[in-house]
Copies of this chain bind each other. A is one copy, B any other.
Amino acid sequence: MDSMMMDMMKTMPADKMMGMDMMAMQECIEACSMTAMAATMCADSDMGMDMAKCSSMCMNMMDVATTTMRMMMRPMGMDMMSMRAMLMACMEMGKACSAECMMHAEMDEHCRMCAKACDAMVMACEKLMNSMAMA
């Protein structure tokens, strides 16, 4: 993550974050941003009859990752139940999108990268979820 963005994260009101590990959240924001970009490009590149499902899932992934990322960046309205449910949705979408993209990973570089970004994001979401559970 860019150093400027790290400075912005530091200004987040810790008392609103309900015990979430700020380092885990920062990594999760980064992973969501990466996945949103990878999925945007993958959805666009999918050509041919067999790729309609992949393209559609990547469009969903792009929107889900962007929404999850934005929610983490809004400490003022942080609500534990909603944040947890959104992280769950992001993980489910990440798993489904990765599984689909992996099917085309050998012939399509976008799919391979998108699957990789999804996998890293699912792990980052899980890590953040665990830090919330312990809080």
How far, in whole Å, are A88 and B84 apart by their CA atoms in the complex?
10
How far, in whole Å, are A102 and B69 apart by their CA atoms in the complex?
25
Q: Which residues of B contact A91 (CB under 8 A)?
A: 85
Set B49, B77, B88: member contacting A54, Cβ < 8 A? B77
Question: How often does this chain occur in the complex, in copies?
Answer: 4
Contact with B along A39-75 (1 / 0, CB 8 A): 0110111111100111111111011101101110111
Q: Is the interface of A mostly helix, strand, loop or mixed?
A: helix
Q: Which residues of B contact A89 (CB under 8 A)?
A: 82, 85-86, 88-89
**Could you tell me if A47 and B52 are in contact, using CB atoms closer than 8 angstroms?**
yes
Q: A33-B37, A70-B40 are in contact. Are A116 and B4 (CB under 8 A)?
A: yes
Q: A70-B40, A86-B93 are in contact. Are A77 and B64 (CB under 8 A)?
A: no
**Could you tell me if B81 and A92 are in contact, using CB atoms closer than 8 angstroms?**
yes
CB distance from A70 to the nearest CB of B (A): 5
Q: Which residues of B contact A78 (CB under 8 A)?
A: 56
A20 interfacial contact with B, CB 8 Å: no
A96 interfacial contact with B, CB 8 Å: yes
Closest 4 CB pairs of A and B: A56-B77, A57-B77, A56-B76, A85-B92
